[in-house]
Amino acid sequence: LHSFPTRRSSDLLARGLPKILSVEEVGNLLKLASSEAEIEGNSDKARTAVRRLNVLLELLYATGLRVSELVGLKRQAVMRDSFFINIVGKGGRERVVPLNDGARDVLVGWLEIVPGEKFLFPARSASGHLERQVFARELKALGARASIDASRLSPHVLRHAFASHLLQGGANLRVVQTLLGHADISTTQIYTHVLDERLRELVALHPLSG
């Protein structure tokens, strides 16, 4: 079993369990974003915007980055033929996050669109990169087109989905802690309800259960 300090259920409930989307709902979002990015006939500006949203969504669900980390990614953060991204998180702590094939493929295509740029998602803003509010607004609009209520969808919700779906698949909590960039395991323990559910499922599959 996973080895990590326990916290009382009341403590977790006081903080509130994170909102998440199902694997199916995230899959529908990814599929819609991908299909919209392939539509021909849009203006160059509109086509670039939908392709950017597709890349943002793929990267977010593949890595669980904080939205500020995601929109502020620099070109130099992409490592080793786009298989990894080097993240500088809170407190200047660095972590290396791997990419799955889907995220890597769209990222490689996107790099051809923004060659020579300092940021992966450049914009005419004070920061020089896409503002997180713009991404959040575009994400909610995509969710509406995928029949997902706006109140249930935000970049942070997808970060939660990343972590919860990994744990549902059997990932170790400390691995998830590293990927999320949490300095303390207690922060990651908000997801222990997912582990509890997973353990109940495993017990239910025991040949002598029931």
Listing DSSP states for 71-131 in one string gives HT-BGGGEEGGGTEEEEE-GGG-EEEEE--HHHHHHHHHHHHHSTT-SBSSB-SSSSSB--
| Catalytic one of 51, 129, 159, 160 | 159
Annotation says 31 is catalytic = no
Q: How far apart are CA 100 and CA 48, in angstroms?
A: 22
Annotation says 191 is catalytic = yes
| Helix pair angle (23-37, 132-145), 10° resolution | 100
Residues in a beta bridge with 86: 96
Annotation says 159 is catalytic = yes
CB 164 within 8 A of CB 18: yes
| Catalytic one of 51, 104, 129, 191 | 191
Tokens encoding 131: 């503002």
Annotation says 90 is catalytic = yes
Look at residues 53, 26, 32 and name the one whose alpha carbon lies nearest to residue 168. Answer: 26
| Catalytic one of 31, 90, 93, 152 | 90
| Catalytic one of 156, 174, 193, 198 | 156
Annotation says 200 is catalytic = no
Residue 95: phi, psi to the nearest 5?
Answer: -150, 150
| Catalytic one of 51, 66, 104, 132 | 66
Annotation says 182 is catalytic = yes
CB 179 within 8 A of CB 63: yes
For the annotated catalytic residues, the residue numbers are: 66, 90, 156, 159, 182, 191
